[in-house]
Amino acid sequence: MSISAERKQELIQQYQPKKGDTGSPEVQIAILTERINNLSGHMSSHKKDQTSQKGLLMMVANRRRLLDYLKKVDEKRYLDVIGRLNIRR
């Protein structure tokens, strides 16, 4: 369910707005999206795993808050992120 350190570094390199920026909303959204996609695959085969389901819902809510913040601050960056990650809104 968690992502490897190499994959996390790839996501950081790909989505950071400037060099060395690892905490920007874009990076956090990309990492959460990767974890959500991995956990969704787990949930399709383990339907009764209530603990993982709760964690998935918490991650989706956290990503939603980050997307709302990004939309409020800079709508162009928001549209760019949802386009690159294929997040439907």
Q: How would residue 88 be classed by pLDDT, with cut points 50, 70 and 90?
A: confident
Domain segments of the chain: what residues? Answer: 5-82
Helix (H) or strand (E) holding 82: helix 75-85
pTM to 2 decimal places: 0.92
Q: What is the DSSP string of 5-69?
A: HHHHHHHHHHH-SSTT--SSHHHHHHHHHHHHHHHHHHHHH-TT-HHHHHHHHHHHHHHHHHHHH
Measured between alpha carbons, how far is 30 from 2 in angstroms, rounded to an integer? 13
At 13-69, the pLDDT tens digits run 999 989 988 899 999 999 999 999 999 999 999 999 999 999 999 999 999 999 999
Measured between alpha carbons, how far is 82 from 70 in angstroms, rounded to an integer? 11
CATH number of 5-82: 1.10.287.10
Q: Is the pLDDT of residue 89 over 90?
A: no
